[in-house]
């Protein structure tokens, strides 16, 4: 069966890019099915209202629980993970993308305004796992762009979506480190040279150099990742060398 993704939003057109590029091809080839649903179809008043003032006061509006309850009753297969993007969530990681890609599918609930009434995520836990996740330490206007990010990260890990398995396995974050720099022809460009080892044909030397670059780049740009990475003696020697 294809991997099944359902997205509930008040801006369905915002998800149009999912039909493009790698993901569009994966859908054409039957590897992924994506359903985008307008939350307003589950409202029950003439104004199709999805928000209301916050209990306890304060600025902004909160998304009402009733349309969300009906939407999830309709689109979420029992047991399927519900993903709720929120800047107040746990940080979305490559490890999550890998774990989610091994599940049968995902349902995404895109918040707007000040977010969705908390009882939606709390209630939804009775029917399967619920993940409240953030894509980074900044605040977006809505969950749609966060969903585009997560769907792309998950679907490129599905079997058959990316042609070359190795390109996925060696990516930054796959092993907890950043990937080093990449080069292509010409060997000399505007006074900048490709590192000579890459032209040497010595595969062991190239592998060592790539590992060293990966370690050095992670040390400089993301010391937090390096601190958590499982390094070998050889890695430590490369880092010090
Ligand atoms: N009042 C919320 C808070 O401070 O936690 C902010 C709500 S934000 C303006 C509106 C919506 O954008 C959120 O419900 C969520 O869907 C989405 N959003 C904003 N920043 C995000 C982030 N870093 N990661 C994932 N989703 C985000």
Contact 142/15 with Cβ under 8 angstroms?
no
Bridging pattern class, strands 105-109 and 188-189: unpaired
Q: How many whole angstroms from 84 Cα to the centroid of ligand 1?
A: 10
Nearest CA to ligand 1 atom 23: 87
At 196 the pLDDT is 98
DSSP the chain: --EEEEEEES-GGGGGGGGSHHHHHHHHTTSEEEEEEEGGGG--STT---EEPPTT--SS-EE-HHHHHHHHHHH--TTPEEEEEEEEEEEP-HHHHHHHHTSSEEEEE---TT-B-HHHHHHHGGGS-EEEEESSSS--S-SHHHHHHHHHHHHTTSTTTSS-HHHHHTSTTTTSS-------S-SEETTEEPPGGGGS--HHHHHHHHHHHHHHHHHHH-HHHHHHS---HHHHHHHH-
At 26 the pLDDT is 92
To which CATH superfamily is domain 3-165 assigned? SPOUT methyltransferase, trefoil knot domain (3.40.1280.10)
- pLDDT tens over the chain, length 241 residues: 999 999 999 999 999 999 888 888 999 999 999 999 999 999 999 999 999 999 999 999 999 999 999 999 999 999 999 999 999 999 999 999 999 999 999 999 999 999 999 999 999 999 999 999 999 999 999 999 999 999 999 999 999 998 877 677 778 887 899 999 999 999 999 999 999 999 999 999 999 999 999 999 999 999 999 999 999 999 999 999 7
At 163 the pLDDT is 83
174-240 in CATH: which number? 1.10.1270.20
Residue of 7, 87, 148 to mutate, ligand 1, most atoms within 8 A of C-beta: 87
In whole angstroms, give the CA distance from residue 4 to residue 151: 11
Q: Is the CB of 58 under 6 A from ligand 1?
A: no
Q: How many whole angstroms from 89 Cα to the centroid of ligand 1?
A: 9
Q: Is the CB of 143 under 6 A from ligand 1?
A: yes
Q: How many whole angstroms from 146 Cα to the centroid of ligand 1?
A: 9
At 203 the pLDDT is 98
Tell me the domain boundaries of the chain: 3-165, 174-240
At 170 the pLDDT is 73
Torsion, Cα of 70, 71, 72, 77 (10° steps): 110
Does the annotation list 241 as a binding residue?
no
pTM for this prediction: 0.94
Which residues form the catalytic set?
87, 114, 156, 171
């Amino acid at each position: 069966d294809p991997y099944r993704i359902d997205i509930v939003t008040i801006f369905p057109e915002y998800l149009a890019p999912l039909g493009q590029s790698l993901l569009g091809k994966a859908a054409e080839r039957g590897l992924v099915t994506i359903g985008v649903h307008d939350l307003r179809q589950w409202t029950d008043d003439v104004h199709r209202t999805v928000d209301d003032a916050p209990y306890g006061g304060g600025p902004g509006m909160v998304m009402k629980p009733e349309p969300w309850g009906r939407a999830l009753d309709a689109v979420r297969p029992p047991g399927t993970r519900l993903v709720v993007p929120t800047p107040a969530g746990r940080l979305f990681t490559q490890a999550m993308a890998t774990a989610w890609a091994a599940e049968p599918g995902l349902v995404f609930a895109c918040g707007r305004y000040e977010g969705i009434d908390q009882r939606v995520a709390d209630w939804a836990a009775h029917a399967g796992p619920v993940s409240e996740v953030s894509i980074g330490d900044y605040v977006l206007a809505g969950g749609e762009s966060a969903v585009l990010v997560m769907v792309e990260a998950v679907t490129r890990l599905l079997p058959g979506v990316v042609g070359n398995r190795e390109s996925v396995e060696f990516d930054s974050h796959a092993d907890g480190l950043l990937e080093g720099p990449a080069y292509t022809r010409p060997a000399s460009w505007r006074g900048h040279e490709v590192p000579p080892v890459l032209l040497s044909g010595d595969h062991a030397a190239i592998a060592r150099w790539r590992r060293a670059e990966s370690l050095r780049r992670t040390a400089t740009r993301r010391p937090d990742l390096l601190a958590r990475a499982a390094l070998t003696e050889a890695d430590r020697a490369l880092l010090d060398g």
